[in-house]
Structure 1
Amino acid sequence: MRRSLVGTAVTLAVGTLLTAAMTTASASPGAAATPTPEVRVPRPVLVDCLWHQDVRPADFILACGDGNSRLTGLHWAQWGPREATAIGMNVVNDCKPYCAAGTFHAYPVIVRLDDPMPWKKHPDVQHYTRMSLIYTDARPEGFGHVMTYPLWD
């Protein structure tokens, strides 16, 4: 019985020493991986008609005065520090015979935002200053395959 108590004590002591050695080794500076500092690149925003900033909006009004052109159902593939791209629909009023009596038509588009600059309202915030719409099928009368617009500041 005495022999088993000594054996148990020796086993516990060896286990304790091994645990202490492993803890010390893993805590040493050379054993642990040095964490890489996270570099955060500020993402530009999209400024709407009411001077609100947004990131990846689902909808966006292009014709602020009358709402006769807007983007809907936007699905963003990317939103980066230099550009953003999405697919969606450009819903445009044909204004025939006049805008109040016109019909809205939806056209599939690829939306590209780029040319980020500091926003005048908040100079520490970057905002996209240019939008290009690429029509992938039909397009409104008088529109080109690609339409590029400056965005307000």
Structure 2
Amino acid sequence: MRRHTLSTAVTLCFAASLAAAASAPSEARPASPPASQTARQQARVPVLVDCFFHPEVRPTDFVLACGDGNSRLTSLHWSRWGQASAKAVGVNIVNDCKPYCAAGRFHSYPVVVRLDRAQPWKKRPHLQHYSRMTLEYPAGRPDTFPPTVTYPLWN
């Protein structure tokens, strides 16, 4: 019973923090680099679009399951971020959802992340964004996952 309560509390806290971040006024968010610097940097390389439709370059964390937060990438260390592709190593934290997601446990898996297929972003056509992500699991992986998983990224 205690494990179920803790799992539920963690899930609810995560969902609340996502909602708070989305609704926080702009002055409550961390300061960004000057717009001209950001635009110049983003014009040179593709961006990764997060759950809140913010463009990111070399993020350290990235939520894959935007609706429920049951899969996310953490501790990302980028070795490449260029016009054609990007590559990082990190950890994929995945909820096993057993017996159901609110009662499930999160497990960590080492992962190699590759981004490619840069194309104009519909929201900001002057920016290129990576439209495909491939995850390779060099060691363990979630029970139902193959060694390599490819996801289309939102536009």
TM-score by length of 2: 0.72
Structure 1 match to 2:73: 71
Q: Which has the higher contact order (CA 8 A, sep 6+)?
A: 2
1:104 partnered with 2:106: yes
Runs of 4+ aligned structure 1 residues displaced above 6 Å come to none
Structure 1 unaligned segments of length 5 or more: list them: 1-40
User: For 2:153 and 2:103, how far apart are their aligned partners in 1?
Assistant: 28
TM-score by length of 1: 0.73
One-letter amino acid of the counterpart of residue 134, structure 1: E
More helix per residue: 2
Structure 2 match to 1:5: none
The structure whose Rg is larger is 1
1:93 partnered with 2:95: yes
One-letter amino acid of the counterpart of residue 44, structure 2: P
- Aligned-pair CA distance for 1:42: 1.6
One-letter amino acid of the counterpart of residue 119, structure 1: W
SS at match of 2:77: strand
User: For 2:78 and 2:138, how far apart are their aligned partners in 1?
Assistant: 16
User: For 1:141 and 1:63, how far apart are their aligned partners in 2?
Assistant: 17
Query: How do 1:128-139 residues align onto structure 2 when only pairs under 5 Å count?
Result: 128-139=130-141
One-letter amino acid of the counterpart of residue 98, structure 2: K
Indicate which of 51, 60, 63 corresponds to 1:61.
Answer: 63
Structure 2 match to 1:116: 118
Structure 2 match to 1:26: none
User: For 1:136 and 1:129, how far apart are their aligned partners in 2?
Assistant: 23
One-letter amino acid of the counterpart of residue 136, structure 1: P
SS at match of 1:116: strand
User: For 2:50 and 2:138, how far apart are their aligned partners in 1?
Assistant: 24
Structure 1 match to 2:47: 45
- Aligned-pair CA distance for 1:141: 1.0
Structure 2 match to 1:125: 127
User: For 1:133 and 1:67, how far apart are their aligned partners in 2?
Assistant: 17
Indicate which of 70, 79, 82 corresponds to 1:80.
Answer: 82
Aligned length: 114
1:142 partnered with 2:144: yes
